[in-house]
Structure 1
Amino acid sequence: MTTMTAGLEAPFALARFDDGGRTVLGLVAGERIRALTPADLGAEDLNSFLADPDWDRLGDLAVTEGPWRSLDDVSLAAPVEPREVLQAGANYRTHVIQLIMGGLTKGDSTRTPEETRAHAEKIMDARAASGRPFFFVGLPQCVVGDAVPLVLPGYSETHDWELELAVVIGRRAFQVDREHAMDHVAGYTIVNDITTRDLLFPTDVGDIGADWYRAKNAPGFLPTGRFLVPAPFVDPTDLRVVLKLNGEVMQDATTAELIFDVPSLVSTASQTAPLNPGDLLLTGSPAGNGQHWKRFLRDGDVMTGTIQGLGAQVVRCVADGSVR
């Protein structure tokens, strides 16, 4: 069951919830939710609807009488069913500088702290000037709702948080330009991109590169927010992003700090392969990760992540307890 009010500014949003042992799509308005049938949607399923969303249709439904239920009476699942998950890397300047200063990335160990910071700032200036965001791929099977406990794999003690604004793709996007990129955005949700830091840059492969697969794709490592908020109700250019660990603020930034904004990310990602309805595109994480605080996730931790206008997620951490 949910234990938090919706916290939505939008007049309505989409969610998925458990209904007698099956996960169904629902319409959220205020503190209420109702199941949506294909007839309600005017489409066969969620991703078919997102391919050509009729938000006015759902807006009309949101103000009608019907089989509404309290949000507190249902268990919410992830509000999306992506076929692909793309994740933008190094997209907040201060975040990357903190990681480099904290010794996460490979570098010259002879530099002084001042030289390391200057080097990190030079790297980020070059990234911004290049006009080229970069991406890595996550596994859709890692996408879960925040009702699913985050099991911390026993093979590491460096599991970290990365709260991010996530773009939900609507109409198929392939080789679209920046000017038209937002025509392909259906909505937004919250994703916490969990990362196992000591697996990201393996020590046994020299300078070959990062192991994104092992560091970021354990079961449940992409917990989402509770709602898919339609794009017409969200201005992604300046949303406050806050993550609290056991009530203490760890991340607090705004999307105005993104090096590459949402249109740039969608356009660039679409140049290589099509983005399809329902796919997720994560925009990057701001400063304040566990690597910076020298404090990683532990059994019993509770993370509360909020993004302005998108509601909240509450992720509870539990120890693996198994030997791998």
Structure 2
Amino acid sequence: MSVKPEPASALFAGPFALATLSAPDGPEFPALVTPDGQALDLRAAFGDGRLTTLDVLSDWETALPRLRALADATALARTAVADLRVHAPVTPRQVFQSGANYRQHVIDLHVAHRAPGDDRPEDERRAEAAEIMDRRAAEDLPYVFLGLPTAITGPYDDVTLPAWAAKPDWELELAVVIGRPAYQVSVEDALEYVAGYTIANDLTDRATVFRRDMPQIGTDWLRSKNAPGFTPLGPWIVPAESVTNTDDLRVTLRLNGETMQDESTKDMIFTVARMVAYVSQTARLLPGDLVLTGSPAGNGMHWGRLLRDGDVMEGTVTGLGTQRTRCVAEAS
């Protein structure tokens, strides 16, 4: 099952984007999509019947000018995206996730996750969290952990809420898609390794984030974030050249039509360039890899309203389109 997007005058910013599509009963294929909702099958355009979106990203320097030319080639046969199924735009080899990267979000979570026995007033705990954020920014230390590609699902697919997940929550994020191998790159050069951007909803079960049985170990990201389908991705990869300012994009999530998250990436503690550079100091980033940049304030823990069966989440990021997913409780 899937929830189709609402009609829009323009699906995304810029002249074209990358997508992974399929006919209702056919195989997935990489596609160039134009803002008016028309798709061009890149297997035929590139003369490779086995081409994938990851292949396109793996040769991004050569592919990008070809995609620009194809976007202008109006004589080529296209298919309406509305007649196709939209999948996650890429299947990455590596997923890097950022925690605690929006100042107000971290302060809200710090207050919501009250430690046992902590009876201090809320304003005192908020002040403590703000001080921690200022210190992290000064020390220039982002917090990054690994996600699983198997948690990724399509931008309009149903999301199964596992029976064991007592507090499933949403976390809409700007996601960076890598276009060149990157290892130990500088902040100044980091954006040169980015192919484009997409949308990710990094769902989290708040009940399993912390190991209560072994608090000295800390967080359990495997269980809390990596259930199948817990990372709706897409719908499109919009090339970096069409995203003019990643430091001022609006990240908005609506739950059943009600706005829950609505914040600018200005509230990020660490910029996109800083996140990419930081990850590359330890890991070798590969084409198609994702760097999720954190989620702004307005999560379910803040509102006291967590996900349940039948909820519909609609997530948008400026210029990147809209994803729309429905929550379905796992059968007992």
Asked if the contact 2:42–2:51 (Cα under 8 Å) also holds between the matched residues in 1, the reply is no
Residue number in structure 1 paired with 2:33: 28
Counterpart for residue 11 of structure 2: 7
- Give me the whole-angstrom Cα distance separating, in 2, the residues matched to 1:319 and 1:10: 37
The separation in 2 between residues aligned to 1:208 and 1:44, in whole angstroms, is 43
Alignment equivalent of 1:176, drawn from 180, 185, 189: 185
Aligned-residue RMSD, C-alpha: 1.7
Q: Distance in 2 between matches of 1:16 and 1:40?
A: 15
* CA offsets 1:177-236 (integer angstroms, 9 cap, x no match): 111111110000000000000100121112320001100000000101210100110121
Quote the Cα distance in structure 2 between the aligned partners of 1:281 and 1:305.
Answer: 18
Q: Is contact 1:79–1:225 with CA below 8 Å preserved after alignment?
A: yes
Q: 1:238 to 1:108 in 2, by over 3 A?
A: farther
The separation in 2 between residues aligned to 1:184 and 1:107, in whole angstroms, is 44
Contact 2:5 2:322 in 1 (8 A): no
**Does 2:312 align with 1:308?**
no
- Matched ranges for 1:142-157 at <5 A: 142-157=151-166
Helix, strand or coil for the counterpart of 1:166? strand
In structure 1, the residue matched to 2:54 is 47
Report the Cα offset of residue 113 of structure 1: 1.4
1:256 to 263, 266, 269: 266
Q: CA deviation at 1:107?
A: 7.0
1:111 corresponding residue in structure 2 = 120
Unmatched segments (≥5 aa) in structure 2: none
SS in 2 for 1:87: strand
1:1-324 matches, within 5 Å, as: 2-5=4-7, 7-19=11-23, 20-29=25-34, 30-37=36-43, 40=46, 44-53=51-60, 54-64=63-73, 65-103=75-113, 106=115, 109-234=118-243, 235-322=245-332
Distance 1:3 1:285, change over 3 A: closer
TM-score using structure 1 length: 0.95
Stretch of structure 1 that moved more, 53-62 or 302-311: 53-62
Structure 1 residue 146, shift from structure 2 partner: 2.0
Q: Is the 8 A contact 1:239 1:308 kept in 2?
A: yes
- Deviation of residue 38 (structure 1)? 6.7
* Contact 1:38/1:44, CA 8 A, preserved across alignment: no
- Unpaired runs of 5+ in structure 1? none
- Residue 47 of structure 1: how far off its partner (Å): 2.6
Distance in 1, matches of 2:308 and 2:47, equals 41
Is residue 12–residue 27 contact of structure 1 (8 Å, CA) maintained in 2?
Answer: yes
Matched position secondary structure for 1:273 = coil
The aligned length equals: 321
Runs of 4+ in 1 over 3 A off after TM superposition: 41-45
1:38–1:45 CA contact under 8 A, matched in 2: no
- Measured in 1, the distance between the counterparts of 2:226 and 2:215 equals 22
Evaluate the alpha carbon distance shift between residue 41 and residue 277 of structure 1 in structure 2; reply closer, same or farther with a 3 A threshold: farther
